Amino acid sequence: MPLIRHIPAVIVHGRSDMACQVQNAWALAKAWPEAEWHIVEGAGNSFDEPGILHQLMIATDRFAGK
């Protein structure tokens, strides 16, 4: 983590994701406290689920300076 902590990051995770369970996102967020993180209720593991897509668009717009 010391090598990447300075990189802006957003962690987006679906609460109902069974492939990558929420504990993994929580562990990453604890190890990378500078990262913003969002747990999306009712979402699983797909980028095109409405809640996941919404958070990803907010993050990419912010990184793009919009």
Chain segment 3-59, per-residue pLDDT in tens: 999 999 999 999 999 898 899 999 999 999 999 999 999 999 999 999 999 999 999
- What pLDDT, on the 0 to 100 scale, is given for residue 51? 96
Number of domains in the chain: 1
Residue ranges of the alpha helices (H) in 1-66? 22-31, 50-63
pTM for this model (two decimals): 0.87
User: What pLDDT, on the 0 to 100 scale, is given for residue 10?
Assistant: 97
Q: Would you say residue 66 has pLDDT above 90?
A: no
> What is d(CA 19, CA 26) in angstroms, rounded to the nearest whole number?
15
Q: What is the pLDDT of residue 21?
A: 87
Chain centroid to CA 14: how far?
9
Whether 57 is covered by a domain: the verdict is yes
Residue 3, domain member (yes or no) = no
* Residue 4 belongs to a domain: no
